[in-house]
Structure 1
């Protein structure tokens, strides 16, 4: 891979590159298409970590994505300028313009889309889908085993929000003529591997999870061919990561750790002193550290103290990730870099991040309210899957006919023999739900709540 060929404003599904509008570039149009999409709007009612919302407002998937986009834009701007500064003699004018002015927009757009494929109820929603299909037995298991290839079945047994995001931004967006550029799409795929060759944690970072379902493999191959992204296996089912992916991932890695602490403090799970003890050491032995601590002491409101520390730390980590990006530039370009940027920072910073992770696992991710919403997610998503999968596999029963009428027309259910597509339509339907819609529909179809009574 090289900087000259890692971008293209060609759109998936379009034979030719689109001409720029007078006031919007292609990458700005990608951003606009995502921001105005119903899939993005629904993120406002999808769980980030804590239940949504009580008297205290906490982050949801939408607010998290917008904050990640802000950090991604900063990383893209910093990296783009340095690429031009370092490689100006090897880049044509189009490339110079892209890295100076457009990479920031690409990273920002990829960041607002990075969680667009996540189902309701946070990461437990993904696990609930996987668990349902892994625990199938009897007639249902027999039907799937006979009608699906190994990789197609693995799409469901190892359901992955990243792969689902790529499906939304290709298959589903293309149906609405919202075709995105190859560059934006490539920047979103953290794990460019299929479901069978993914989830190999001791292999390439590309294969830690999966990045595309069976239906979208050819889409990714088209992108890889256009941008000269090299395959890492003979079957062309695992690819090198696009370098821009590392920037999107870094923006997410920076944000979620800090905002989860902020939310935990707002919910009185973490005290202000505990939060300060975790964040202030990042500035030790740094010029101005004393002034930072003094400034925190002068702020009366505890929430504002934490907001100040958050802003300072994000700035520091953006700078450090920019430095390490170019330290590992050759590995980024040849596809051999197997760690996220944040794991390549100096030992002191990694140790401090590890301490945040330890406290977060102990106090935040295992808080009673988090566990309760995760358990609810298992029951609700598992229950919805049980009802609707039964309906598509046995469509002629009276109950099935009624249930199938509840699936919107955009999630088309085809003839009985197209089992994979029908199951995928059900998963599209359920994974796209907001938390509240999933709860409401589950209550109604199970009789817990009778409509209009």
Structure 2
């Protein structure tokens, strides 16, 4: 059994079936892994759309690797203990299963088409009184505390306090005060992580925590996310021929300028250290990869060796502290990860092919939101509305903790329900439903997925 006992209380107290082979944190992991909300991530893009011919990471495979990496980080810290029998510092609640579960959950609320859809939903919701806009991390917290269901008696997956706290990568509400920290201080984040509708769940999960300081488990989950982004996505786009890892030196100054434009506004960000790490990886890739072709055996072997070396280094970059947040990340490794991530930003994300594709995706999500809103506001019980959306709206109207979404503000309740529904769709489902609502679909009415 894994260690860690401080946060094993569940949000909704229930009598669990006694199973000696699983502890409470392992139950959490299993609940997430078997949820339909988690399976949906197979149909949601990491960067490029999931219908690409190349085998790229999607949100599901990315989440699995974040979870696996999170577990390894805790295992490394446990291995480094002077006296393993004494365990981790009191109050840290560090636990392999908790970090792994947080990794599985961290993207579970992200909408179809990723960040571009978040922008569209944020713009729509910002125009409606009683709502705070959209935030993917807050939506993930809402999924596991409200939208995912396993029992009739209570909403959500009824996870433990430690797991819910680990999921909170940005442990504050939107309008609460935010701590100012150095870029390398992983104890704090820039965004917010929960809506007012989940304030009761948020406050319960954060009992005993300091302000907006992350839990140790959340720090490790966030670092695991960065590691996965930096290494696995980079490999994807080298395979796709989009990132010329063998000849990065040609674009070195442009990559550096592009990265500094994004990153230098962060407090304490060291431009010299970033340049140094970028130059190091450019030399490493250029010295070991001699062509753009992924299919040569030599390139595949060399790329795997490079990735493996990075993963090992980044796991060993975590260290224990004697006070909250109880863990820290070696600064040089943080700059190395930032340099690796910048390659994907420069060659893939901020390029015309993806930008053009995203314009179409924005139209799909925007049109889908508008049409569903119109139908729901007009007649919430209409057969024109998908059954799941009707159920989500009904739950919202019956939630006595949501004062802003009472009968006095029907628009806010409808918008929240439509957003929740869209964030439970795959990209293929979003496209199909949008075409049906626009009258452009030739699909059969029989056996539809939304009945």
The structure carrying a bigger helix percent of its residues is 1
- Give the aligned partner of residue 451 of structure 1: 443
Match of 2:86 among 63, 85, 88: 88
Residues 1:223 and 2:198 aligned together:
no
Aligned alpha-carbon RMSD (Å): 3.7
Equivalence for 1:247: 220
In the aligned structure 2, how far is the partner of 1:36 from the partner of 1:5? 23
Q: CA deviation at 1:391?
A: 2.8
**Distance in 2, Cα, partners of 1:293 & 1:302:** 8
Larger mean CA deviation between 303-312 and 78-87 belongs to 78-87
Instruction: Return the offset for 1:175.
Output: 5.9
The CA distance in 2 between the partners of 1:405 and 1:89, in whole Å, is: 50
* 1:373-419 CA-partner distances (Å, limit 9, x unpaired): 322221111111111222333338xxx93543555443134485453
Change (3 A) 1:280 1:188: same
The answer to whether the 8 A contact 1:395-1:416 is kept is no
Which residue of the other structure, out of 340, 354, 365, is the alignment partner of 1:356? 340
Q: Distance in 2 between matches of 1:280 and 1:104?
A: 35
| Residue aligning to 1:163 | 138
Q: Is the 8 A contact 1:280 1:309 kept in 2?
A: no
Match of 1:410 among 366, 391, 413: 391
Q: Distance in 1 between matches of 2:335 and 2:41?
A: 32
Task: Give how far 1:369 is off.
Answer: 3.5
Partner Cα separation in structure 2 for residue 79 and residue 306 of structure 1 = 27
Give 3-state SS (helix, strand or coil) of 1:404's partner.
coil
Moved more, 78-87 or 41-50: 78-87
Q: TM-score, normalised by structure 1?
A: 0.76
Query: In 2 relative to 1, CA 12–81 (structure 1 residues): closer, same or farther, beyond 3 Å?
Result: farther
Shift of 1:216: 0.8
Choose which of 164, 167, 174 in structure 2 pairs with 1:195.
174
What is the correspondence of 1:60-79 to structure 2 with a 5 Å cutoff? 60-79=58-77
Q: Render the CA deviation track for 1:144-181: whole Å, top value 9, x for unaligned.
A: 43xx2xxxx21xx2x11111111111112356363111
CA offsets per residue over residues 311-335 of structure 1, 9 Å max, x none? 2210111101x23xx2x553525xx
Is 1:170–1:179's contact at 8 Å kept on the other side of the alignment?
yes
Say if 2:331 is the partner of 1:345: yes
- Separation of aligned partners in 2, 1:201 and 1:401: 48
Gaps of 5+ in 2: 253-276, 398-405, 446-451
Structure 1 unaligned blocks of 5 or more: 137-143, 233-238
How far did 1:77 drift?
Answer: 1.3
Asked if the contact 1:191/1:198 (under 8 Å) is kept, the reply is no
CA contact (8 A) 2:78 2:84 kept: no
What does residue 318 of structure 1 align with?
A: 315
Offset of 1:90 from its aligned partner? 9.1
Query: In structure 2, the residue corresponding to 1:437 is in which secondary structure?
Result: helix
Q: Summarize the Cα distance change of 1:272–1:301 in structure 2 as closer, same or farther, 3 Å threshold.
A: farther
Any conservation in 2 of the 1:9–1:182 contact (CA below 8 Å)? yes
Which residue, out of 289, 304, 307, partners 1:307?
304
Deviates more, 1:164-173 or 1:363-372: 363-372
SS in 2 for 1:442: helix
Q: 1:36 aligns with which of 34, 37, 42?
A: 34
* Aligned CA distance change for structure 1 residues 11 and 385 (closer, same or farther; 3 Å): same
Asked if the contact 2:389/2:418 (under 8 Å) is kept, the reply is no
The match for 1:385 is 369
Alignment partner, residue 141 of structure 1 = none
Deviation at 1:195, TM superposition (A): 2.2
Deviations 1:206-254 (A, max 9, x none): 56212111111111211222xx113x3xxxxxx3211211000000111
From 204, 209, 212, the equivalent of 2:191 is 209
Q: 2:147 aligns with which of 168, 172, 185?
A: 172
- Alignment check: 8 A CA contact 2:171 2:213 kept: yes
Residue in 1 that maps onto 2:115:
123
Aligned counterpart for 2:425 among listed residues 433, 439, 442: 433
What does residue 382 of structure 2 align with?
A: 401
